[in-house]
Each structure stands twice: as C-alpha cells, then as structure tokens.
Amino acid sequence: MTPGGGGGASWRDVPERHGPWQTCYERYGRWDENGIWTDPLAAIQVREDAIGNVEWILG
C-alpha cells in the first residue's frame, strides 16, 4: 500500500489473513495520522544513508 493511493496495490487486494480490507484501510489511516510511520522511516533512512545505500536527488 502507498499513501495517497498512487501506484500501490488496491486495499481490496489485502490478503484475507489480515482481515477485511476496510479494517486495514482504517487502521493504516489512524497510524498515518498518529505519525506511527515517521520514526521508523526516519531511522531506516539514517541507517541506510550512513552505509551509502541512499542516493539523495534534489531537483
């Protein structure tokens, strides 16, 4: 899944083992609003940048 619905898989394609797609959609939305993705993403970016795995392109 991708934020904003651009280019990612459809919520309706979530595997059944994760429950109804509506529940997954709502949970993801709550997590996004609460910033739950911010800290882990930042930590991964810092770690990967430190070992040269990130190419920063400014444009």
Q: Is residue 58 part of a domain?
A: no
In whole angstroms, how far apart are CA 19 and each of 31, 41, 42, 43?
17, 25, 28, 29
| Assigned token pair, 37 | 């993705």
0.85 exceeded by pTM? no
Q: What is the CA radius of gyration of the chain?
A: 15
Q: Is residue 5 part of a domain?
A: no
Q: Is residue 40 part of a domain?
A: yes
Domain count, the chain: 1
Which range marks the domain in which residue 15 is found? 10-50
pLDDT averages per 10-residue partition of the chain, 59 residues: 62 92 94 88 92 88
What's the confidence (pLDDT) of residue 17?
94
